[in-house]
């Protein structure tokens, strides 16, 4: 009788062990699938894409030399540009002076945000943006809204601005 009870007990322990192993495996697969879904947009809805704006506004400051002259202005030769030094009173705009206004719609996935940043000339590589945002732990904290970011800002600062994690 004792052997039968021990055999039943051993069977229940083995059954419990295998049940826990299967449960942990299912949870791991679910979490990985959820994270990959966020990163790679497997199940993106067509309605979400219809809401995404195609026009990205980039504001460029105008200096005293830049005016809205129309058709009559001649384009100077490169040789003329090299001979004349630029005046210190009229500095030319640098990349840090150019501010891009980025509109990120609600419900945008990180890869769509990467596309918007590429179109705004803020980043060069979407995969680098995705990988760095995951490394920083901010990939799930990226927010929607309107952001003004200077062109030439480094990738970490762009991610912090969009995640509002200054």
Question: In this predicted model, what pLDDT tens digit does every residue of 111-136 receive, in sequence order?
Answer: 899 899 998 888 888 889 989 888 88
Best mean pLDDT range from 35-44, 90-99, 140-149:
140-149
Say what the pLDDT of residue 11 is: 94
CA 123 – CA 131 distance, rounded (Å): 13
Categorize the per-residue pLDDT at 20 as very low, low, confident or very high, splitting at 50, 70 and 90: very high
What are the Cα distances from residue 19, in Å, to 13, 24, 70? 10, 9, 76
Per-residue pLDDT band at 13 (split at 50, 70, 90): very high
Residue 96's pLDDT band (cuts 50, 70, 90): low
* pLDDT over 90 (residue 14): yes
Contact 123, 158 (CB under 8 A): yes
CA 90 from chain centre, in angstroms, equals 35
- Cβ–Cβ < 8 Å for 148, 96: no
Task: Identify the weakest region by mean pLDDT among 22-36, 80-94, 149-163.
Answer: 80-94
Strand order in the sheet with 145-150: 57-59, 99-104, 145-150
C-alpha closest to that of 117 among 80, 84, 147: 147
Q: Which pLDDT value is given to residue 4?
A: 93
CB-side exposure of 120: number of CA atoms within 13 Å? Answer: 31
| Nearest residue to 145 via CA among 53, 60, 61, 59 | 53
Residue 103: exposure state from Cβ atoms within 10 A (0-12, 13-18, ≥19): middle
Of 160, 143, 134, nearest to 105 (Cα)? 143
Q: What is the mean pLDDT of residues 104-115?
A: 88
Average pLDDT, rounded, for the chain: 74
Q: Is the pLDDT of residue 150 over 80?
A: yes
pLDDT at 104 over 70: yes
**22 pLDDT above the threshold of 90:** yes
For the stretch 82-92, pLDDT in tens is 444 444 444 44
Q: What's the pLDDT tens digit per position in 41-66? A: 544 555 544 555 555 555 555 555 44
């Amino acid at each position: 009788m004792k052997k039968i009870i021990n055999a039943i007990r051993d069977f229940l322990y083995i059954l419990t062990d295998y049940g826990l192993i299967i449960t942990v495996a299912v949870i791991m697969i679910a979490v990985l699938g959820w994270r990959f879904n966020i990163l790679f947009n497997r199940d993106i809805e067509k309605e979400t894409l219809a809401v995404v704006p195609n026009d990205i506004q980039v504001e460029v400051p105008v200096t005293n030399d830049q005016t809205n002259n129309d058709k009559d202005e001649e384009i100077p030769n490169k040789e003329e540009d090299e001979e004349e030094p630029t005046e210190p009173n009229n500095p030319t705009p640098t990349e840090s002076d150019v501010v891009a206004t980025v509109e990120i719609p609600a419900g945008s996935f990180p890869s769509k945000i990467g596309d918007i940043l590429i179109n705004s000339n803020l980043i060069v590589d979407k995969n680098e943006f995705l990988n760095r945002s995951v490394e920083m732990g901010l990939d799930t904290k990226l927010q929607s809204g309107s952001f003004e970011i200077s062109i030439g800002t480094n990738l970490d600062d762009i991610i912090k601005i969009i995640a509002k994690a200054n």
